[in-house]
Structure 1
Amino acid sequence: MVQRREPTARQVRLGVELRRLREAAGLNAVEAARLLGLNRVQISQIESGATGVSEQRLRRLASHYACTDEEFVNALVGMATDRTRGWWEEYRGLLPTSFLDLAELDHHATFLHEVAILYVPGLLQTEGYARAVLSGRVPELTHDELDLRVHHRLRRQQITRPYKLVIHESALRIRVSDRATSRAQLTKLLELSEADNITLRVIPFDLDGFSRAADTMSYAGGTVPKLDTVVRDVPHGSAFIDSEAQLNVFRTRFRKVEAVSLDPEQSRDFINRLTKEL
């Protein structure tokens, strides 16, 4: 087994799911290793994402773990045998790994749900808006670092899967730069809202009873619901959340926020009015 120096978030997730299956079966690492003729260290490396696992071994483990969810096992096999080297690999060693993990998550997602309260999400930002947001980072980025991050963010914007965004009026009104940048950003949102795969809804300031102002979130759908992922911003980058209990919480949060927002047509009218004010 070749040991990976720095496993991706997707490789780590595969290991986490195998560990969860093992624990649900009531087996320890030594017992699981014995099933495959391996040792405990090798099982630990597989479960940490440090080494890969073949389809044959994965299916044997799933069988020994009494996992009868064939769709889920097939999805895990897909993760284990995937050899995709996406465009984000060009940035390895140049950007923090969290940037690459986000791009990989986007690429494999079956759908994306997002709630934005203070900023327009990166997947929909103009270059000027992205540059303004990233230039406000502390510690300050060098010119080359800023260019690299802006370029990476714009390359992430290849949205082909269904994408639902609920955005608060505050994110539409806050001027991260100047009036022209804000106008260009709102215009881009209007254009993107016409795409068949993008649904954009607005939460206006005057909405009664909006108590979920802290619910900024990005939710990426997996090939099966058990492999969904929530991304939350944290001081050191991005945190990936994948426990079933937490995923259920965020699914409910999104439904509630979406339910109180304006419908897509009303939202476009709302953004159009804001654009004319600038």
Structure 2
Amino acid sequence: MPARTSLTLRQQRLGAELRKLRERAGLTSTEAAALLGGPQSRISNIEAGRYAVSADRVRTMAHNYACADEAYAEALASMTGARARGWWDEYQDLLAPGLLDLAEMEHHATALRVAVVIHMPGLLQTAAHARAVMAESVPPLRPYEIEHRVSYRIKRQAVLYEGSPAPYAAIVHEAALRMGYGGRQVARGQLDALLAEGERDNVTVLVVPFGEASFPSSGQSITYAAGPVQQLDTVVLDTDHGCEFLDAEAQLERYRSVLDRMEARALSAEKSRDLIHRIARDI
């Protein structure tokens, strides 16, 4: 079987989870290969994500590793096979791989939870707001680069309304509502769009107001993408150098706690809407 020429985050994650299972079972890659009936290199390549693996083979490996969690094993099996092309592949030569991985992760998530302090959540941004934010990038983006990123960001938003959209919860600090990117007209349009998106059955917008004495955040945007089982959840941190993906158990637990604490300090959905209305009116 030919090796993959490029790896997605999802392919790498499957291999990493299979490696975790093997190591927890106390098996070397040579021992695991013997149980599977193949060379040691096969296990190494599967765990590195370099070779595709069938769902049945993943189930066999989970059995060999004494994995008693059937839901987890089936979730891993669902990640196998040839990857179907997604709309994000159109941007393969235009955007950094991390952005493509973000879109694929959102596509497969069973629920999304986001927290932002300065910027609006990407999936709730208008094109005009996104364009104004990207115009402030360092180093500066060329006009055509900005347009590529804006179109990509708008296409990502389809996860909120196409098919059976996953639940989406956004915790937004009041600071983000008042930043005013793009000027008065763009800022008001963004707030109106935020209110409209919050009307969707699957979307919840909660605002943390100024004056909240305790707020557990470093200021960076956080996305928590739920997988089919908790072991396959992923945290994405939006940094100046790109997307940082985290999936260690301790990291997932930490960010679940951070988001829980942020949500506890936010206004209710109804009071959040009232605050957004007041800010939009005053712009």
Q: Which deviates the most, 33-42 or 57-66? A: 33-42
Partner of 1:106: 106
Point out where structure 1 has 5 or more consecutive residues left out of the alignment. Answer: none
Partner of 1:202: 207
1:33 aligns to 2:33 (yes or no): yes
Q: Residues of 2 paired with 1:10 and 1:244: CA distance?
A: 17
Q: Residues of 1 paired with 2:239 and 2:221: CA distance?
A: 12
Deviations 1:31-59 (A, max 9, x none): 11222232232211111111111122211
Partner of 1:247: 252
Specify the SS of the correspondent of 1:174.
coil
Mark the CA change 1:24 to 1:156 in structure 2 (over 3 Å): closer, same or farther.
same
Q: CA RMSD in A?
A: 1.3
Alpha carbons 2:22, 2:32 under 8 Å: kept? yes
Q: Residues of 2 paired with 1:189 and 1:234: CA distance?
A: 23
Point out where structure 2 has 5 or more consecutive residues left out of the alignment. Answer: none
> Which amino acid is 1:52 matched to?
A
Specify the SS of the correspondent of 1:156.
helix
Give aligned-pair identity as a percent.
46
Partner of 1:216: 221
Alpha carbons 1:215, 1:253 under 8 Å: kept? no
1:236 aligns to 2:241 (yes or no): yes
1:83, CA displacement in angstroms?
3.5
Mark the CA change 1:210 to 1:108 in structure 2 (over 3 Å): closer, same or farther.
same
Q: Which deviates the most, 210-219 or 96-105? A: 210-219
Alpha carbons 1:164, 1:199 under 8 Å: kept? yes
Alpha carbons 1:132, 1:176 under 8 Å: kept? yes
TM-score (norm. length: structure 1): 0.96
Alpha carbons 2:112, 2:226 under 8 Å: kept? yes
1:191 aligns to 2:196 (yes or no): yes
1:81, CA displacement in angstroms?
3.1
Q: Residues of 2 paired with 1:211 and 1:60: CA distance?
A: 43
1:118 aligns to 2:118 (yes or no): yes
Between Structure 1 and Structure 2, how many residues are aligned? Answer: 278
Q: Residues of 2 paired with 1:183 and 1:92: CA distance?
A: 33
TM-score (norm. length: structure 2): 0.94
1:144, CA displacement in angstroms?
1.6
1:27, CA displacement in angstroms?
1.0
